[in-house]
Structure 1
Amino acid sequence: MQLIMALTSSWKLILAATVVMLGMWTSQSTARTLPNASMVLEKHENWMAQFGRAYKDDAEKAMRFKIFKENVEYIESFNEAGAKLPYKLAINKFADLTNEEFKTSRNGFKMGSHPKPSYKVSSFKYANVIAVPASMDWRMKGAVTAVKNQGQCGTCWAFSVVATIEAINQIKTGQLLSLSEQQLVDCDDKEHGCEGGFKNNAFEFIVQNGGITTETNYPYVRFKGICDTMKASEVAVQITGYEVVPANNETALLQAVANQPVSVSIDSSSLDSQFYSSGVLTGGCGTNVDHEVAVVGYGTTTDGIKYWLVKNSWGQNWGEDGYFRIQRDVPQIGGLCGIATTASYPTMII
């Protein structure tokens, strides 16, 4: 009987000790969690102030904070796990958007039906180019205007096309003019305005219209409006047509970019694209293209990574001052992110 009582007493002591230990662990866990939650909340408040973000009520703020917190966790875990990767992610102006919201509002590639051009599309004139520079940056040659911002409107197709026309005009005439994306958005009825479009249709429209006007004359307003035919008739730059780069061929794309910036389509649907900050993107994307941009150069890092230099249309406070770099010459059909899947450039005879 005394033995049973002694054992019972021992079990009570063990149970009590266990309860105490569990309490200590819970307290320590809570102590760790509360500062972390507080830190994320502070980050969100600072982020709202930085980007001028306001919400209509507490319910929306709570929802957006939850999304922000999840995105911050992804960014931090990626940067920690991928410390040796050649690119980094960062909290940016898209931090309170789900990836689906981001894709819907920023990506606007829509190939749709491609009407037969009213003229014969020239063959790829750079096919016989053999010697190309080891690197190229058309910005340094004065052929690239400042990075623009399409806003929450899927007009990337217009910005991609305009960037290449601005460039070829400067290359041919020595004059860099900022041209009108809004003219394409309003007046090109083969496209879908903020719902997307396709570069080759836009090139065709500009040929048929007799050219394109300046951004100053027909400024961007981030929504599709009624075509202002008076403004559209004030042509600043004319092109003779466009040429298509052989599909899924990075060598051909290199031949073209060595001579002028090129409009391309890419897969920009991932969180890595949404929060890209710097470096050479080497993954985090497929080849189902959904966004159009302009390749304005190429090069090789000091670590030997070949890359494409790409001008985006998400503003200068995204990526590397509005640009990003994508790995070049990868053993993948279409190139990384599908960058060589569909590419074309305008032609001009002066």
Structure 2
Amino acid sequence: MCLWRPKIVVALLSSWAFISLTWASFVIEDYEGPRIGLETLRSEEEISWLYDEWLMTVDRTYEEPGERQRRFEIFKDNLLFIDEHNHPKNNHTYTIGLNELADLSYEEYQAKYLIPSIGENPLFSSGRGDELATEEHGDGDLEQVPDFKDWRIDGSVSAVVNQGSCGSCWAWAAAAAVEGLHHIRTGQMIRVSAQQLVDCDSRSSGCEGGSQSRAISYIQQNGGVDSAENYPYTGKKGVCRTNSAKLVSVNGWKKVPEIYSEMKLKQVVAAQPVAVATDALNRIFHLYKGGVFNDKCNTTVNHAMTIVGYGVENGQDYWLVKNSWGFNWGENGYVKMARNVNQIYGLCGISSVAVYPVKF
């Protein structure tokens, strides 16, 4: 779950093989592709078999009477949507598929993982570290940026996690950016404790949402942050451990300038991972499996992730983005977001709230 909200409580694992995102509602355009008709593709027996296999794969059980059948109907509807989207005649650059959230309706997905944009954008905050908010780069610097970057290759990206039902994506996005910079500077990979950010960042709201910039500011003000090994993730807000170690430190954060933001963002990502936010409202994001995502979306953001690279796939520029919905969502926990589609906001607003830690 991933929530951001300052005061008001509001309310994806890829498919295996071929068969092979707390309280709000949203509206988005309905899928307008050809409706193939589930019955023409799969029999009820096959769908039932797929459901049984999926239940075992994701280790899902239901305790409430009738819940298994209710979830089966939702599963079946999602399967229809997947089959329609992936039909070859649609010629998409990406696919969707069954994942751990395949028994969630689209409305439930929105309510549990996203919030609408209300008032001040809670994913970006001014305050401590604001004096570092922007950094100017000359055009000459842009010419030196490599065409491809993947910080995983350098060992600067830790393993994908599953945030579970806690709306802590803001903490995981900040943690990934901070630990990445630390590894680049020191050669030492220390997984930053997202749980410490959830428990101790008083300007954020724990599992009910927060801000990447506030999380990084907390690390700065605290003089450092502990490791995930010493301060493990629990998936719920707890009491802040005031005696935690300070193994990774930063001097503040900066925001990628909004003018020509995609070009500037590429320059920063070439130097270090960057915490970003996107609009994940599209139902397809719920069921994303692989390829370069370039579907319709808005520039109002509602989910935080971390860009850890960029490249080109089949002629389409993309951002390589680390999510916190588990290893089986998307491409082993990552999504490729189309790049160079909007130089002001980026696809789904991905470059509009891009922040990164600094260390002198």
Give TM-score, length-normalised by structure 1: 0.85
Aligned partners of 2:236 and 2:110: how far apart in 1? 17
Counterpart of 1:307 in 2: which secondary structure? strand
Aligned partners of 1:208 and 1:299: how far apart in 2? 35
Q: Deviations over 1:286-318 (max 9, x none)?
A: 2221000000001111x2110000011111111
Question: Does the 8 Å CA contact 2:258/2:352 hold for their aligned counterparts?
Answer: yes
Q: Which has the higher contact order (CA 8 A, sep 6+)?
A: 2
Counterpart of 1:292 in 2: which secondary structure? strand
Q: Deviations over 1:93-136 (max 9, x none)?
A: 01000123223333479617835226622531545522100111
Match of 2:97 in 1: 90
The one-letter amino acid paired with 2:196 is Q
Question: Does the 8 Å CA contact 1:247/1:343 hold for their aligned counterparts?
Answer: no
Pick closer, same or farther for the CA change 1:332–1:260 going to 2, 3 Å: closer
Pick closer, same or farther for the CA change 1:141–1:112 going to 2, 3 Å: closer
Residues 160-169 or 119-128, more deviating: 119-128
Match of 1:224 in 2: 237
Pick closer, same or farther for the CA change 1:118–1:166 going to 2, 3 Å: closer
Aligned partners of 1:103 and 1:34: how far apart in 2? 28
Q: Say whether 1:252 aligns with 2:264.
A: yes
Aligned partners of 1:294 and 1:102: how far apart in 2? 21
More helix by share: 1
The one-letter amino acid paired with 1:52 is D
Match of 1:294 in 2: 306
Q: Deviations over 1:232-251 (max 9, x none)?
A: xx100110000110126111
- Structure with bigger gyration radius: 1
The one-letter amino acid paired with 1:68 is F
Residues 332-341 or 238-247, more deviating: 332-341
Superposition CA RMSD, Å: 2.1
Counterpart of 1:195 in 2: which secondary structure? coil
Match of 2:209 in 1: 196
Q: Say whether 1:66 aligns with 2:79.
A: no
Match of 1:267 in 2: 279
Aligned partners of 1:100 and 1:314: how far apart in 2? 18
Give TM-score, length-normalised by structure 2: 0.83
Q: Say whether 1:57 aligns with 2:64.
A: yes
Match of 2:9 in 1: none
Aligned partners of 2:162 and 2:341: how far apart in 1? 29
Aligned match for 2:337, one of 326, 346, 350 = 326
Match of 1:173 in 2: 186
Aligned partners of 1:37 and 1:172: how far apart in 2? 56
Residues 204-213 or 78-87, more deviating: 78-87
Identity across matched positions, percent: 39
Q: Say whether 1:103 aligns with 2:110.
A: yes
Match of 1:123 in 2: 134
Match of 1:239 in 2: 250
Pick closer, same or farther for the CA change 1:82–1:323 going to 2, 3 Å: farther
Pick closer, same or farther for the CA change 1:261–1:222 going to 2, 3 Å: same
The one-letter amino acid paired with 1:105 is K
Aligned partners of 1:52 and 1:343: how far apart in 2? 36
Aligned partners of 2:129 and 2:312: how far apart in 1? 40
Aligned partners of 1:202 and 1:35: how far apart in 2? 47
Aligned partners of 1:242 and 1:127: how far apart in 2? 20
Q: Say whether 1:304 aligns with 2:322.
A: no
Gaps of 5+ in 1: 1-31
Aligned partners of 1:35 and 1:348: how far apart in 2? 55
Aligned partners of 2:158 and 2:59: how far apart in 1? 26
Question: Does the 8 Å CA contact 1:263/1:343 hold for their aligned counterparts?
Answer: yes
The one-letter amino acid paired with 2:258 is A
Question: Does the 8 Å CA contact 2:129/2:252 hold for their aligned counterparts?
Answer: no
Question: Does the 8 Å CA contact 1:183/1:212 hold for their aligned counterparts?
Answer: yes
